[in-house]
């Protein structure tokens, strides 16, 4: 079993058995939730992606590149790549407003991070934050995975992702793989090896209408596969040159996808 499956299914079981039942939230769909949960992965040992259900890796990476490489808020640019995960939040102008990629670009966050890691690797201020208070209400959705904090230890680049809210069945599998990819990409262009990836979740929840899907995934626990390998094109040295074809999974074995509802 992959380490990602092990940690993820442990969290799912914990929420279903010990979660607090919350009837009031933004979406109107009740949840079972637990606060202050954490995953940790050694990226030199294993790439974190679930095998107990199919995770649309390419879609996840396309979204990641849209946010951090393209620094875009234009949902129509995702449509051009047959990605529709932001459709429910698309505003009248075709964007998600002052959120995600817009904030990355507004504060030049990627270039600042890369320059800082190269010039001052032992600095303790290597942070990208999408939680910029003046712009929160101008976005279609307040960012969920909103902050990364970066650390260099010897030849390894470590990253902590802070997520205020995690839809465990649908959003979390994307986020854990996306940001592990981001660590690999930033490490390659700054000359480090990927190190620790720590994923901190303030509110981890399962919506009431997702419980059957989660029980199905738990039933596959003893039939989980080993983790695949991540391949990054070693020729790419400029972060903005990465394309979806430069980032691939090798030997990704998985169970079928599990269809569940997204609460908007």
Beta-bridge partners for 100: none
159 is catalytic: no
Cβ burial 49-77 (10 Å sphere, 16+ → b, else e): bbbbbebebbbbbbbbbbbbbbbbbbbeb
Alpha carbon 33 to its chain's center: 19
Cα–Cα distance between 97 and 132 in angstroms, integer? 13
Cα–Cα distance between 90 and 152 in angstroms, integer? 37
Pairing of strands 20-22, 229-232: unpaired
Three-state DSSP at 205 gives strand
What does residue 142 show for φ and ψ, rounded to 5 degrees? -65, 140
Catalytic one of 144, 145, 168, 186:
144
H runs (alpha helix) in the chain: 3-18, 57-68, 75-79, 101-106, 109-119, 171-190, 211-218
- Listed in order, strand segments (DSSP E) in 87-129 are 127-129
Provide the token pair at 215.
């029980």
Three-state DSSP at 69 gives coil
167: Cα within 13 Å, side-chain hemisphere = 20
Beta carbons within 10 angstroms of residue 155's beta carbon: 11
Active centre residues (catalytic) = 144
């Amino acid at each position: 079993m992959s380490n990602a499956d092990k940690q993820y299914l442990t969290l799912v079981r914990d929420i279903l058995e010990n979660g607090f039942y919350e009837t009031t939230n933004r979406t109107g769909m009740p949840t079972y939730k637990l606060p202050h949960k954490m995953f940790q992965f050694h990226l030199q040992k294993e790439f974190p992606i679930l095998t107990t259900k199919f995770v649309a890796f390419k879609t996840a990476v396309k979204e990641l590149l849209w946010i951090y490489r393209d620094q875009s808020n234009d949902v129509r640019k995702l449509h051009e790549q047959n990605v529709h995960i932001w459709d429910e939040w698309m505003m009248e102008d075709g964007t998600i407003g002052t959120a995600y990629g817009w904030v990355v670009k507004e504060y030049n966050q990627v270039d600042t991070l890369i320059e800082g890691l190269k010039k001052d690797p032992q600095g303790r201020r290597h942070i990208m934050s999408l939680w910029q208070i003046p712009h929160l209400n101008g976005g279609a959705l307040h960012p969920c995975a909103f902050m990364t904090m970066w650390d260099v230890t010897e030849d390894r680049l470590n990253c902590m992702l802070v997520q205020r809210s995690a839809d465990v069945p649908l959003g979390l599998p994307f986020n854990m793989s996306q940001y592990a990819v981001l660590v690999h990409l930033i490490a390659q262009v700054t000359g480090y090896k990927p190190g620790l990836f720590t994923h901190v979740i303030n509110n981890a929840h399962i919506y009431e209408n997702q419980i059957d899907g989660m029980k199905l995934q738990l039933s596959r626990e003893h039939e989980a596969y080993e983790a695949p390998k991540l391949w990054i094109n070693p020729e790419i040295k400029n972060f903005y040159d990465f394309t979806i074809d430069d980032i691939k999974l090798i030997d990704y074995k998985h169970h079928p996808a599990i269809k569940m509802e997204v609460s908007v």
